[in-house]
Structure 1
Amino acid sequence: MRRADEKDDDHVTELVSRAEQALDELIKDIEALVRLESPSSDLDALRRSADLVTEIGTRYLGVGPERIEIDGRPHLAWRLGDGPRRVIVLAHHDTVWPVGSWGDDPWSLVDGVIRGPGCFDMITGILQAMLGIRLLVEDGVDVDGLTLLVTADEEIGSPTSRALIESEAQGCTAAFVLEASGPGGALKTERKGTSNYFVNVVGRAAHAGLEPEKGVNAGVELAHQVLAINTLGDPDLGTTVTPTVLSAGTTTNTVPAKARISVDVRVRTIDEQQRVDEDFGRLHAVLPGAVLEVEGGPNRPPLQASASQDLFARAQELAAAAGLDALESIAVGGASDGNFTAGVGIPTLDGLGAVGGGAHADDEHVIVDRIPGRTALLAILIKDQLSA
């Protein structure tokens, strides 16, 4: 008599084989989405992308999504079955590259490596999710309670989709995020939380040559604030507080009346996020007559290791039993929509998407022969959680 785990091993081997058989179809669909281009800032491009993702997803899953437009941004939700939600799979179809950034033909597939804007972050992940779910459906697995949510604004902080993500995740036992993997295929088990601040300085204009003493130099006040802000980080705790975009003044012969600082904050814990937020509230002007206005605040809570540790351990166990590539984990500074699901208490495993590299860079790429195994991994994780 054969052991049950031997049958499971055979099933995973079959999943990988069937994913390999579907690879040509999947690559054509990745190509179509890469060529279409879908930068977050271009609502018309996002609508075209949503149309194509809908068409592809309907073909893979046999049903169409609900299209949810918020402030012109098209999000797509496939809610499979009528039962309570149990597992959510997260992806996004917006990318970072302005249309035309990669020239007239943004697509390349050479020697088993896909290159093109958004291929790694995260178009391939969308297709892996759809194919993984299709393989389960073809096997007769009951996917009632599974949601695939593909959003349209992740790359700009998910301003219109955050509430949707948190709502769709309620009641789920697991969230699987198809963001691109870490180096070598590592899963992302810890992500820093993010905050964004804008410090506006209001001074008073005056002629720089005739009577500069009558002005209040917003540029000088900006310099004081940059130095103050630069002290708010805590390297020992992994907290970074980074002034990024600075601006001041209007003409070369005028004391600047306005200045502005943009600040990027990354934290590992909620306590640090709150501490930095309070510190920004305590900033004060140094120059007499200058006024500060602080805007912004926390954007994404941290995805702490505690939110992913059990799911990662289970993924390692399932991958080893199935003979798939051994799984490694990595903590990263970048945030994703997985931060939101972790923030509302849903166990979350991130970085399940493509294996490759160059996210947001001109060498963005995906390694084709890693796609089938990653697709099978997602399928067995979903099946495991739905049957728990």
Structure 2
Amino acid sequence: MMNLLDDIERLVTCESPSTDLAAVARSADVTASVGAALLGSQPERIGTHLRWRLGSGPRRVLLLGHHDTVWPIGTLARIPFSVQDGVLRGPGCFDMKAGLAMIFHAVAALDSPDGVTVLVTSDEEIGSPSSRGLIEAEAVEHQAVLVTEGSADGGALKTERKGTSMYEVTLHGRAAHAGLEPERGVNATVEAAHQILAVSGLADPGAGTTVVPTVLSAGTTTNTVPAQGKFMVDVRVRNLAEQLRVDEAMRALEPVLDGAKVEVTGGPNRAPLELSMSSGLFSLATRLLPGITQASVGGASDGNFTAGVGIATLDGLGAVGGGAHADSEHVLVSELVPRTELLAALVKELT
């Protein structure tokens, strides 16, 4: 147990916000060192992404995680690494540096694992722009993917994750003096209001589909009819059919005001992780650890990419705890060893 805690501490105390390239590079070095000590070999480096391909046989199991976090440099001074009363704390401990240490310790516990790949990426928290292709290409060479993101509430495994789509809607109008001749303008703010209501109406609570306008901006000065505005839209769906429905509707938006134009960019980012892609692996997990539960969650992970290319994927195999992206982020120490043992048992069964 102490070695596992020590390795989690090494990972957590190397801060790694996704957009700080120097910090992510330092974290890649630390993660490579921790992994190499346990796996017996140095990783292949693809930028700041790390890959270990173990054994020479056909690829069977991909263990997937990320070493970047949402926390800016300096958070560690405010929320230091600590273990007290059975609770481990520190920025990124639950999402998901404990899960990385668990991967390394689980694989190290196996005798000469063959056909196992460990892939640790560095940009998951910002949508995996540089690693998506790598993740998908790696996944299709394997029969199963195990993702050690933190568990759902109560230690549940994540057997469904909503897919995500992100859009930017730009409204083009025409400027005019707001006091002298507003009728000569085309008000992009008013057009935005119409479009925001239309977009909100695409949600389907019964199907679990959320369509949420978020960031909004328009105009330049208080006495000018706005010539341009824009807003962002966050979409979450449980299945591909809903993702396609919303995408088609977003691209079919039409202006309401005469002379206005509507421009829509963006689209699906992650396909949903549907139950059909995880049910077999979850059944295996319940045989290995009776009583473990499953959950459907709204947040996405890199497991959405692997399920999206048709590979069986089970998520939430990392630490039990909570508070991801919040000051309350924590890991339950008592669950670290049992969950690491479950991960090792799954890898053994699948190889």
What TM-score do the two structures reach when normalised by structure 1? 0.88
Indicate whether 1:250 and 2:228 are aligned.
no
Deviation string for 1:7-27 (max 9, x for gaps)?
xxxxxxxxxxxxxxxx22222
Indicate whether 1:58 and 2:28 are aligned.
no
Deviation string for 1:279-326 (max 9, x for gaps)?
011101111111111000011111110111111011101123xxxxx2
Question: For the structure 1 residues 263 and 105, does the alpha-carbon distance in structure 2 shift closer, same or farther, using more than 3 Å as the test?
Answer: closer
2:162 aligns to what?
192
2:69 aligns to what?
95
Cα distance, 1:85 vs structure 2: 1.1
The one-letter amino acid of 1:329's match is Q
Cα distance in structure 2, aligned partners of 1:167 and 1:375: 26
The partner residue of 1:123 within 97, 103, 106 is 97
Runs of 4+ in 1 over 6 A off after TM superposition: none
Task: Count residues with an aligned counterpart.
Answer: 351
The partner residue of 1:148 within 106, 118, 132 is 118
C-alpha contact (below 8 Å) 1:179/1:350 kept by paired residues:
yes
Cα distance in structure 1, aligned partners of 2:300 and 2:279: 17
Cα distance, 1:105 vs structure 2: 5.4
1:16 aligns to what?
none
Matches within 5 A, 1:55-94: 55-69=33-47, 74-94=48-68
Indicate whether 1:27 and 2:5 are aligned.
yes
Indicate whether 1:334 and 2:334 are aligned.
no
5+ long unaligned stretches in structure 2: none
1:316 aligns to what?
286
2:344 aligns to what?
379
C-alpha contact (below 8 Å) 2:64/2:119 kept by paired residues:
yes
Range with greater deviation from structure 2 (362-371 or 244-253):
244-253
1:162 aligns to what?
132
C-alpha contact (below 8 Å) 2:64/2:147 kept by paired residues:
yes
Matches within 5 A, 1:31-50: 31-50=9-28
Cα distance, 1:155 vs structure 2: 1.0
The one-letter amino acid of 1:90's match is L
Identity of aligned residues (%): 61
Cα distance in structure 2, aligned partners of 1:28 and 1:257: 57
Indicate whether 1:305 and 2:278 are aligned.
no
Cα distance in structure 1, aligned partners of 2:56 and 2:167: 42
Question: For the structure 1 residues 103 and 211, does the alpha-carbon distance in structure 2 shift closer, same or farther, using more than 3 Å as the test?
Answer: farther
What TM-score do the two structures reach when normalised by structure 2? 0.97
Cα distance, 1:104 vs structure 2: 4.8
2:333 aligns to what?
368
2:255 aligns to what?
285
2:108 aligns to what?
134
Partner of 2:340: helix, strand, or coil?
helix
Cα distance in structure 2, aligned partners of 1:211 and 1:79: 68
5+ long unaligned stretches in structure 1: 1-22, 321-325
- Aligned alpha-carbon RMSD (Å): 1.2
Cα distance in structure 2, aligned partners of 1:29 and 1:155: 22
Partner of 1:148: helix, strand, or coil?
strand
Cα distance in structure 2, aligned partners of 1:236 and 1:148: 38
C-alpha contact (below 8 Å) 2:79/2:327 kept by paired residues:
no
Cα distance, 1:103 vs structure 2: 3.6
C-alpha contact (below 8 Å) 1:219/1:249 kept by paired residues:
yes
Cα distance, 1:125 vs structure 2: 0.1
